[in-house]
Amino acid sequence: NDEYISQPAITTVKRIKLYSDSLARYGKSPYLYPMYGLGELPQGFARLSAIYGGTYMLDKPIDEIVMKDGK
């Protein structure tokens, strides 16, 4: 759709920069793909969650997602 036309340009510029930074960091593709199985994805998330003080629980239903200032 054409919703991006009515948005400020900075949003698009930030997304392009993220894509470019990811491409520069990871080589031929800006996307990550686990080399040793998909179990690396939740493991990586669990580690980041622990570093930043988050809680990570497996096999639990989600009751709500709480966001602060839209983040």
| pLDDT digit string, tens, across residues 8-48 | 899 889 989 988 888 887 777 777 777 777 888 888 888 88
Q: Cβ(35)–Cβ(41) under 8 Å? A: no
> What are the angstrom distances between the C-alpha of 34 and each of 12, 27, 50?
28, 15, 20
Structure pTM?
A: 0.41
What is the residue extent of each domain of the chain? 3-51
pLDDT at 2: 86
Q: Which residues contact 54 (CB under 8 A, 6 or more apart)?
A: 48
Which stretches of the chain are DSSP H helices?
A: 9-26, 40-51
pLDDT at 17: 92
Q: Which two tokens stand for residue 54?
A: 């988050």
